[in-house]
Structure 1
Amino acid sequence: MVVFLGWTLLSVCLLVCASQGQKNFTAESGQNVTLTCQARKNIQTVKWSRADLGDEYVFLYRDGRETLVHQHPSFKDRVDLKDKQMKDGDVSLILKNVTINDTGTYECRVVETGTSGLKPISIIYLSVVDQPRRPVGLIVGLSVSGVLIVAAVVGFVIYRKYKG
């Protein structure tokens, strides 16, 4: 019953998210992630934001250059456009060395030349999880055990050969 209910809730969430045009993406901490956004050509302004940052933004490109004035400190020197020339309207964002704190809903908005107002283009929910830790103690313990077992077998074989 619990498994069925869990799958039902998951299915409902996937349907709701898909109907709103939101993309979901999961990454491991430490990875570089590309958040995709495709607009038309003749782009004047690109703004990547996250609602929980208030007035600060993730990335802002305006009038031919990147603007850093109100960029949230956690994104300084960690974000850049995938294609700085924005060929074919590609305004995808590269987020470097993601951490769990980067989890959230990112929104890409664009102003095209001759239009006014930031138009939402893409909404992406990014979930960042810790990298699975490798059990170093277990690996070392199994390696040492393996070496001891091989040594014991070799020792037994040598003992039997010289005794017999």
Structure 2
Amino acid sequence: MKLLLVFVLLHVSQHALGEQTVLADGGRDVLLPFQFSGAVDKDSIVEWSRDDLNPKIVHVLRDGADVPGAQNPRYSGRTALRSDALTSGDLSLTLSPAQPCDSGTYTCTVRKNGAIQDQTMLKLEVRVPDAGLTAGEIAGIVVGVLLAFISGFIIGFILRPRLSNK
């Protein structure tokens, strides 16, 4: 019994120690990966959560179905598990679109009959899209300025002397 308890604690600790960081660009979908190696059936509960939220539930799968009413309103309509999550064990969470306020530590917990079967933690960092100009926008501005300069030159130095001589 003690050996089993040590194994379970070690297994959960390894996940916590090896916390993975996922980088995402704001405004795009992001995948929080988790591959469960055990058997997931309809009696299992899959819960994605963030401890810094109230309510802390980001997404929950219970009795083989999503339970949107249990999740934090911030994530309403923005989360999804794969349709074959139970059969494939791929419990990765898709968050769409990622927002800067989504940055934080996410925990995915798999429970069966109240006991934790597996758990992993991921840190999500959502970057704010760069508001700087693209190369194409800069090129457009440069061309516009050059055209304005050339037009002013033509009007000021070529057409103006001709019109004033008449």
Q: Could you tell me the TM-score, scaled by structure 1's length?
A: 0.70
Query: Residue type of the partner of 1:131?
Result: P
Report if the CA contact (8 A) 2:54-2:72 is conserved: no
Distance 1:116 1:19 in 2: 20
Q: Which moved more, 1:52-61 or 1:88-97?
A: 52-61
Unaligned runs of 5+ in 1: 1-17, 153-164
Distance 2:46 2:65 in 1: 10
Q: CA deviation at 1:101?
A: 0.6
Report if the CA contact (8 A) 1:48-1:59 is conserved: yes
Q: What is the 5 A alignment of 1:1-164?
A: 20-39=17-36, 40-43=38-41, 44-112=44-112, 116-135=114-133, 138-148=138-148
Equivalent residues, number = 138
Residues 67-113 of structure 1 deviation map (CA, whole Å, 9 limit, x = unaligned): 1233100100000003444332111100001111100000100024x
Report if the CA contact (8 A) 1:25-1:125 is conserved: yes
Q: Secondary structure at the match of 1:145?
A: helix
How has the CA–CA distance of structure 1 residues 148 and 93 changed in structure 2, closer, same or farther, with 3 Å as cutoff? same
**Two-structure CA RMSD over aligned residues (Å):** 3.1
Report if the CA contact (8 A) 2:100-2:128 is conserved: yes
Distance 1:50 1:120 in 2: 16
Q: CA deviation at 1:57?
A: 0.3
Distance 2:106 2:22 in 1: 11
How has the CA–CA distance of structure 1 residues 147 and 76 changed in structure 2, closer, same or farther, with 3 Å as cutoff? same
Q: Which moved more, 1:84-93 or 1:46-55?
A: 84-93
Aligned residue in 1 for 2:162: none
Higher radius of gyration, 1 or 2:
2
Q: CA deviation at 1:140?
A: 4.1
Report if the CA contact (8 A) 1:83-1:92 is conserved: no
Unaligned runs of 5+ in 2: 1-14, 153-166
Q: CA deviation at 1:123?
A: 0.8
Distance 2:81 2:146 in 1: 50
Query: Once the two structures are aligned, what percentage of the paired residues are identical?
Result: 25
Aligned residue in 1 for 2:4: none
Report if the CA contact (8 A) 2:111-2:118 is conserved: no
Query: Residue type of the partner of 2:98?
Result: V
Report if the CA contact (8 A) 2:16-2:120 is conserved: no
Q: Which moved more, 1:28-37 or 1:137-146?
A: 137-146
Q: Secondary structure at the match of 1:37?
A: coil
